[in-house]
Amino acid sequence: MTVCRRHCYWSVVAALVLVLLGAGRGWIGAADGPHGKIIADIVPMGCRLHPPEQILNQMRSRVGKAYDDLTIQEDVRRLINTRWFTPDGVRIFTVAEPDGRVKVMVYLTELTGTIQEIVYEGAQHLSKSELQSLTGLRKGDPMNPMANGLARQSLLRKYQDEGRYYATVELVEGNKPTDARVVFDIVEGPVIKVAAVNFVGNNHADAGRLRTQLVTKRQFIGIGGKFNPTTLDLDQKALVEYYQALGFLGVKMKPEIIRSADLAHVTIVYHIVEGVQYHVSGVQIDGAVSVPPEKLAAVTELKAGERYDRRITQRDLTRLRDYYGLRGYSVGIEEKLSADPTQPGLVNVQYVVRNDSGTPKRVGRVIIEGNEITQDRVIMNQLGIYPGQILQYPKLEDARMRLSRLGIFDGDQAPTVTVAPNNLEDNEFEDILVRVRETRTGQFILGGSVNSDAGLTGNIAINERNFDITRIPTSWDDIRNGRAFRGGGEELNIQAAPGTTFSRYSVTFREPYLFDTPFGLTTSLYYFQRSYTEYTEERYGGRITLDRRLDPIWTASVSTRIEGVSIKNTPLDAPWAISQYEGGHFLAGFRAGLKRDTRDSYIYPTKGNVFDIGFEEVTGDYTFPVGTAEFTQFFSNKALAREDGSGKHVLGIRTQVGFAGANAPIYERFYAGGIRSFRGFAFRGVGPFTPGSDYALGGTFSFLNTIEYQIPVLPSDKMFWVAFVDHGTVESKVEIKDYRVSVGTGIRIAIPALGPMPLALDVAVPIVKGPGDHKQLINFSVGVFGSQ
Q: Does 24 score more than 80 pLDDT?
A: no
Residue 738: pLDDT band with limits 50, 70, 90: very high
Q: Does 11 score more than 50 pLDDT?
A: no
Q: Flag whether 719 is in a domain.
A: yes
CATH number, position 134: 3.10.20.310
Q: What is the DSSP letter of 356?
A: -
Q: Does 47 or 495 have the greater pLDDT score?
A: 495
Say if residue 616 is in the same domain as residue 705: yes
Q: Flag whether 578 is in a domain.
A: no
* pLDDT value of residue 32: 52
Say if residue 620 is in the same domain as residue 662: yes
Alpha-carbon gap, residue 51 to 5, rounded angstroms: 10
Peptide bond into 688 cis (omega under 30): yes
Alpha-carbon gap, residue 509 to 563, rounded angstroms: 18
Say if residue 384 is in the same domain as residue 485: no
CA distances from 40 to 17, 51, 92, 574, 726 (A): 18, 20, 15, 82, 72
Domain that holds residue 673: 540-560+589-783
Q: Does 20 score more than 70 pLDDT?
A: no
Residue 633: pLDDT band with limits 50, 70, 90: very high
Say if residue 641 is in the same domain as residue 756: yes
Q: Does 27 score more than 60 pLDDT?
A: no
The predicted model gives 11-35 an average pLDDT of: 44
CB-CB contact of 621 with 587 (8 Å): yes
Q: Does 6 or 546 have the greater pLDDT score?
A: 546
* Pairing verdict, β 27-29 and 85-96: antiparallel
Say if residue 770 is in the same domain as residue 672: yes
3-class SS of residue 324: helix
Residue 324: pLDDT band with limits 50, 70, 90: very high
**Final residue of a structural domain among 110, 127, 159:** 110
- For the chain, percent of residues with pLDDT exceeding 90: 64
Alpha-carbon gap, residue 441 to 611, rounded angstroms: 33
3-class SS of residue 403: helix
Q: 44 pairs with which residues across the strands?
A: 106
* pLDDT value of residue 33: 64
Residue 479: pLDDT band with limits 50, 70, 90: confident
Q: Flag whether 3 is in a domain.
A: no
**With b meaning 16 or more CB within 10 Å and e meaning fewer, what string describes 57-66?**
ebbbbeeeeb
Q: What is the pLDDT of residues 265-310, one digit of tens each?
A: 999 999 999 999 999 999 999 999 888 889 999 999 999 999 999 9
Say if residue 170 is in the same domain as residue 269: no
What is the CB-side half-sphere exposure of residue 559 using CA atoms within 13 A?
19
Alpha-carbon gap, residue 248 to 12, rounded angstroms: 64
Q: 18 pairs with which residues across the strands?
A: none
The predicted model gives 724-733 an average pLDDT of: 96
* pLDDT value of residue 82: 83
Q: Flag whether 547 is in a domain.
A: yes
Q: How many domains does the chain have?
A: 7
Say if residue 322 is in the same domain as residue 372: no
SS percent in the chain: helix, strand, coil, step 5: 20, 40, 40
Which spans in 417-532 are helix H?
Answer: 476-480
Q: Flag whether 479 is in a domain.
A: yes
Residue 21: pLDDT band with limits 50, 70, 90: very low
Alpha-carbon gap, residue 259 to 645, rounded angstroms: 35
* pLDDT value of residue 356: 82
Closest CA to 206 of 590, 596, 705, 714: 714
Say if residue 122 is in the same domain as residue 97: no
**Final residue of a structural domain among 435, 468, 485:** 435
The predicted model gives 34-62 an average pLDDT of: 87
The predicted model gives 389-418 an average pLDDT of: 91
Residue 35: pLDDT band with limits 50, 70, 90: confident
CB-CB contact of 636 with 651 (8 Å): yes
* pLDDT value of residue 557: 98
The predicted model gives 342-349 an average pLDDT of: 90
Alpha-carbon gap, residue 15 to 21, rounded angstroms: 10
Q: Does 755 score more than 80 pLDDT?
A: no
Q: Flag whether 534 is in a domain.
A: no
Say if residue 81 is in the same domain as residue 30: yes
Q: Does 26 score more than 50 pLDDT?
A: no
The predicted model gives 367-373 an average pLDDT of: 91
Say if residue 256 is in the same domain as residue 370: no
Say if residue 662 is in the same domain as residue 772: yes
Q: Flag whether 584 is in a domain.
A: no
Q: Flag whether 526 is in a domain.
A: no
CATH number, position 732: 2.40.160.50
Neighbours of 203 (CB within 10 A): 6
Q: Does 754 score more than 80 pLDDT?
A: no
Q: Does 22 score more than 50 pLDDT?
A: no
The predicted model gives 443-451 an average pLDDT of: 86
Q: What is the pLDDT of residues 65-76, one digit of tens each?
A: 889 888 898 899
Alpha-carbon gap, residue 497 to 515, rounded angstroms: 32
Say if residue 446 is in the same domain as residue 339: no
Dihedral through CA 304, CA 306, CA 311, CA 315, nearest 10?
-40
Which one-letter amino acid corresponds to residue 57?
Answer: N
φ/ψ of residue 633, rounded to 5: -125, 140
**Final residue of a structural domain among 354, 385, 418:** 354
Closest CA to 539 of 492, 589, 503: 503
Lowest-confidence range among 17-31, 286-300, 338-352? 17-31
Q: How many helices (H) and strands (E) does the chain have?
A: 13, 32
Q: Does 1 score more than 60 pLDDT?
A: no
Q: What is the pLDDT of residues 411-430, one digit of tens each?
A: 888 999 999 877 665 678 88
* pLDDT value of residue 428: 82
- Please state the pTM of the whole predicted model: 0.76
Q: Does 17 score more than 60 pLDDT?
A: no
* pLDDT value of residue 9: 41
Q: Does 453 score more than 90 pLDDT?
A: no
Residue 784: pLDDT band with limits 50, 70, 90: low
Q: What is the pLDDT of residues 160-212, one digit of tens each?
A: 888 898 899 999 999 888 888 999 999 998 899 999 999 999 999 999 999 99
Q: Does 54 score more than 70 pLDDT?
A: yes
